[in-house]
Structure formats: C-alpha cells, structure tokens
Amino acid sequence: MRLSHWGIAAAVVLNALVNDGGSLAHVSIGWGAMALLLMRLIWGVLGPAEARFSAFPPNPLTAVAHLRGMASGERPRNYPSHNPAGALMVYAFWVALTVVIATGLVMTGGATPMQVAADKAAVASGDWEALVKDDGDDDQGEDAAFKEGAEEMHDIAANLLLILPALHIAGVFVEGRLMRRDLLAPMLLGSKTKAKAKRRQ
C-alpha cells in the first residue's frame, strides 16, 4: 500500500513538472504509474483485510455525515481502514488517474517508453519514413478528432489529480488534529506499533 501510495504520488508530481507531453520521461513515468495502479487494484482484491475494497466502500452519504461531524468539531471514529470521506477521495483519485492513463495511451498510440525512445532516435537520425503511416484521409481526420478529445480529457483529469491530493492533505491534517493522532507516521513507517518503536529509538 505504501509503495503504491507514494509511488503514484511521486509520479503525479513528476509528470506535472515534466509537462512535455509525449516525451520519453513523461511516457515512462505514466507507464510506471499504470503499473503501480494495477498493483494497488490487485492488492485491493488479494491483500489484507484493511487494504481490500470491501473495507472502504464508497458511500457519499456517509462521507458527507463524516465531514459534517468534523466541521462541528466532533472527534472522528477510529476506522481500521479509510474513513468514509477518505474512501471517497481514494476512489475519485483512482478514477481520475485511470482517465489520465487511458487518454495518455490514446494520445501516444499506446507507445511504450522503448517505442518512444526508438521513434525519437529515428527522428534524430533523419529516418522519417519509419514514422509515416499510410491511412486514408477520413481515418486520419477521425483519429485526429478522437485524439484531440482525449487530450482535453487528459488535461482536465491531470488538473484534478493535483486538486484531489491537496484536499486529501488538508483532510489528513484536520482529522489528525481532531483525533490527536499522527496519521502520517503509519503511511511512512508502516504499522502504528512500528512507528512508535522507531520514534522511541
């Protein structure tokens, strides 16, 4: 869980900085994020009870009630997994990340980092024929319109991936204050027991 959490966070930040869409770095980071997302989704089925989807089903009504309680200063319950608002945030983030990855694949034609590197090497050597595809004009027009729509969705979802973590960080800070508990340490160090042991050392 920690590997996918921090790995995907790093990928989102890096690709926000490496904003040259289609570059080898951007595509490589995108494929890395896709691998981490797939790993986390598999872990949501096969992992321990706290990591499984059944432990934090998305429930907007419960999430709103949870947020209202926090706004009124009520001390939140201690959930074994994500609280209702956090669960909703997780699913929203996964959906946005899936859209970013899917539209990125459309925009690059599903090219792997190795293919992108090979194409750039071909352009650098002047071998443009390797990149030319013989398609009909109608097909090219439809393909261009489809890719343009994918690019717009990609940009919207990518911006959402920057907004959602900001809300998530604010929620962790507020809830940690209300619960008088360090919510960050377990995500950095592992279990609460391990976190306490490391702090004592």
Based on the number of CB atoms within 10 Å of its own CB, is 176 exposed (0-12), middle (13-18) or buried (19 or more)?
Answer: middle
What span, in angstroms and rounded, lies between the C-alpha atoms of 182 and 173?
A: 9
pLDDT over 90 (residue 155)? yes
Tens digit of pLDDT for each residue in 59-112?
A: 999 999 888 887 887 777 777 778 888 899 999 999 999 999 999 999 998 989
Based on the number of CB atoms within 10 Å of its own CB, is 71 exposed (0-12), middle (13-18) or buried (19 or more)?
Answer: exposed
Q: Smallest Cα–Cα separation from 152: which of 90, 103, 201, 116? A: 103
pLDDT at 198: 42
Type of residue at 123: V
pLDDT over 70 (residue 52)? yes
Q: Which residue has the higher pLDDT, 194 or 29?
A: 29
pLDDT at 137: 54
What span, in angstroms and rounded, lies between the C-alpha atoms of 156 and 87?
A: 22
pTM as predicted: 0.79
pLDDT over 80 (residue 156)? yes
Q: Smallest Cα–Cα separation from 93: which of 18, 41, 21? A: 41
What span, in angstroms and rounded, lies between the C-alpha atoms of 28 and 108?
A: 12
